[in-house]
Structure 1
Amino acid sequence: MPRFLDSAKGQWRVFALFWCLVAGVVTLSAGEFARREARTEALGQSATATALHAAVLRSELERHRSLPLVLAQDPDLQALLAAPSPTGVDRLNRKLEGLARETRAAVIYALDARGRALTASNWNQPASFVGSDYRFRPYYSEAMRDGQASLFALGTVSGRPGLYLARRVDGADGRPLGVVVAKLEFDALETEWRASGEPTYVTDSDGVVLITTVPEWRFHTTRDLPEDRRRRLEVDQTARRADLSPLPFEALSPGLIRLSRHVPADVYARTVAPVPDIGWRLHLLSPAGAGITRAVAAARVLALLSVALLAGLTGILLRRRQRARARAAEDEAARLVLEQTVDARTAELRAANSRLNLEIDERQRLEKSRQDLQDELIQANKLATLGQIAAGVAHEINQPLAAIRTHADTASVYLDRQDAAAAGRSLERINALTERVGTITDELRAFSRKTRSGAVAVGVDAAIDGALLLVSPRLREQGITLKRSRAPDGLEVLAERNRLEQVVLNLLQNAIEALDGVADPTIAISVSVRAGKVTLRVSDNGPGVAPEVRDRLFTPFTTDKPDGLGLGLVISRDIVAGFGGELLHAAPRSGEGAVFSIVLARAV
């Protein structure tokens, strides 16, 4: 044994050197392990978000893909393309205008066999397509040749990017009459994705960026383009405002890239999901740099603390050994006592830690039970409300069903008389009535669904419309006058659609019950915006809240109704509080009874 190890100083030097090396190795290893784990977790979260974004995109495409196919079978369109007339053009213009508004298509238009636009949904706008020649567009020639075509390009008139879905229109003799085209723009989808804070873009089979939350990336590429593809883009005028250069990505490791332009400088986890049938690929970038840095720093700190603890314990043992050698036999007993003391304290700490873990588990279980109970109460309130309005909604559905039966019989008679135009009008009325029934049943199904999600941007008028759709039969049955002032266009609040609708429906139900027996019953709904807050006010001209329950209005089981449980307002207040808002009993104005206000943050 080297002589310097016989001295206490020599032993402490070796001890310090050894633990410095151990600390360095453990810190580096822990940091690298944490980096890999954080990267894997970031990629997993990004893959989940990518799948959701891809599902939304596929849904949007499927919703519009059938539009040209259905229009190609439209007898009015076939008749117009076969024999153009001013009357037919005017009728098709208005028909396409209404269809574009209902389906949220950017524009729908029809081209004759020479590629000239005869009719369009934007016929009455300054940038109308009517009369324009689109023979140069590939979707026209491909649809005339193959029966259908699609193309993502910039509009020659609007300059806005979109997906053109084209379908050939054939006559009764099989002769091509022209092409019907629907343009789909993705501004709303890009806005929705942009709100998530994760850069997202969609590329075609050649890697050209088509849809993106970062406008500067549009028509850039993920790789160098073949020369024939570049020439085609130039012919299509698709790239007239882009240089088709590759995106400024710097690959760091599998799945991770670095960006420094157009988005916050960070390390991003990139995942890709295919969009079948159209050959697109959806790419999503999740910020991962800060998370990886935090994970690495935490792992290194934990490793250093662990090494320091082990080094401290080892130092204690070394010191005790030195003291034992110096103090001889009598100190051996003291060392044993000290070891027993340390073991006892360690056991106490372990027991205390176990008790603490049990308490934590119990608190988490209780919190989950409380949350589950609250969700069940909310769902029970929904189902109870649906039970109250079921009869009225059933009557609301039976009327259009009876009308559908009548129109179907009428259409059959017209067909027997070979009156196709009259039969078509009956079928159009059947279609409108079917849409009405579908709207009511869709609202019932959406309302009854058990949902729970974070607060997102929700249209105020959409939530009010959904609630009114369910209670409108009761309003008509009791002869209640509804005074409603609509919200400003596009006004949105931070909430969850179904639960906000549930709160509005509860307030309307309470108002309807309070107006039983009141002369000239009236319910008023108004929306106001002030200082970033949106206030939805529901009032009636009933007797108002009884004084004896006014101070305890939001206390469970407090009610002034003979058959009430006193839980509806409590549940509604908890729902609104979950959105970060307030449900208040406001002071009534002259001529008003009960007044309730829902105050929510405005969505930016």
Structure 2
Amino acid sequence: MRRRAVTLTIFLITVLALSGGVWRFAYLQGLDQLSARGQADLSLASDRLVGQLQRYRDLAVFLADHPQVEAVLRGASPQAGQAFLQKIADKSAALDVQVIDTRRVVLASSRSALNETVLDRRFVRRALGGALGWGHGPDMPLTDRAYFHAAPVFNDLGRVEGAVIVATDLNGIDYDWRGSNPAAFFTDDNGVVQIANRSELLFWQRKNGAVGLTPPQGAWGEFSAVTVKGHEIWNMKWGPYLPDTALHLTQSLPVIGMTGEVLLDTGPARRLAWSQSAAVAALCLAFGALLFLATERRRTLFEVNTRLERQVAKRTAALNASNTELRREATEREEAQAALRRAQADLVQAGKLSALGQMSAGISHELNQPLMAIRSFAENAVQFMERGKFDRASENLTRISQMAARMARIIQNLRAFARQESVPQTRVDVARAVASAVEMTHGYLQAAGVSLDYAAPAGPIWVRGGEVRLGQVFVNLISNAADAMTESRIKKLSIVIETGDVVSVRFCDTGPGIEMPDKVFDPFYTTKTVGSDSGMGLGLSISYGIVQSFGGDIRGSNLDRGGAMFSVQLEPGDEMESSI
């Protein structure tokens, strides 16, 4: 009992350690993904803010060269300048537009009083010094948060004679962001929050470079910060609209003199880590329970077997005789089972030999026509060489090489068919496949006295299939048609290609027709003499399997006027990639 308790304790400690490791790994993975997504969100918000503020900088630069502003600086009527600036402010949604001279006195403004001196701020000094200036701060009594762009105005001699100041109300900029996720805010060089999509964070400050933020009225809520594998995690109680635990990310924005910051809720990452850890723990506990049950079952069986052995030892001589009989019956049963296994093995071997015999017959049947073509090309090549037509002889030798390669590919496809394998399907030109089959069987048709009626289409017709195996099907149908018309008075073979939802290739002959159309595609079904050179009835069966592997169909029927028609229907191959 004590040993079981120790084993159970060690197992539970192991499961706890493994679950803890899975939790930490999943949590760190979640933080990495959250950081990547947060950086993207922060970059998007930063770019949006910079873009909104930069258009007011461009407005200040534009107004600095405007004739109306130059007229105001040269003593023109302030009312005309004020009306112009008011119109500009209304169209651009600027808070205020001012024109000041070198003494910082307001000469014209869209909203401010005239002849007042503006505060001596850094952006004003930069503009009056001949450079672009920007900054933020209150613009009382208009708003407590404003962003300023100041552009210098130069006279004809290149000297600064004043400046244009464009003020932007930050309340209007971040108003549209309120409540969006995640929580984002922008702090100035002093660590004060100037822009935020959470209004409760405005004017919070990071004092002396410390971590976290402090509200203007002092400490508020609990706060602590930890670093987890390079990630800064804030634990805070800052209200219902901010996460209790958040990943803190920053991005410097020197163009506007601020730093973008974002707080991402780590709750989903923790929940995902807990779920994965719980799943691992549950799996380990389930495995442990099964192992415990198996161990208990084995122990119980051992105890039962021990008791039974003790009882058997006390049996009488009569029971020993019964045991001997049982052992004899068991031996006979084992011998019967062994005999059954041997019979099953013999049946499997017989099936293999039957399949090998079927493939041997198929190879002999399918290679007959290419060999005839090779023989014809070889005889013609000899005649061309005797006549000195070496170019024609070279062409025939090239065709012989092509026929040999095609024979090798036919053997490969036959082996694949017997093993129920499939060669990758490509986009095949069915017109080219028919033309190739006609070319291969041309001599055979002439020898049989068969006339061919076939009009090749003007362009390619693409279907789904394999070039070699599709040509094999067509060669089988053409040669079978020629064999069927041996005793016919009129020997004519027609080949027609029709397009539509499916591509259909029809082979019509003038032979006696099909005796049993429903069995014509069965293996070993043939109207020819079995065992002769004409074949064993495997050609149409193999062709049927090839077409079915392409997703098509092949049918045989009798024509009303006499003869047989075989129709091969194939799927169009317009959407498939062409073979290389």
TM-score range with shorter-chain normalisation? 0.3 to 0.5
Q: TM-score, normalised by structure 2?
A: 0.47
Q: TM-score, normalised by structure 1?
A: 0.46
Q: Name the larger-Rg structure.
A: 2
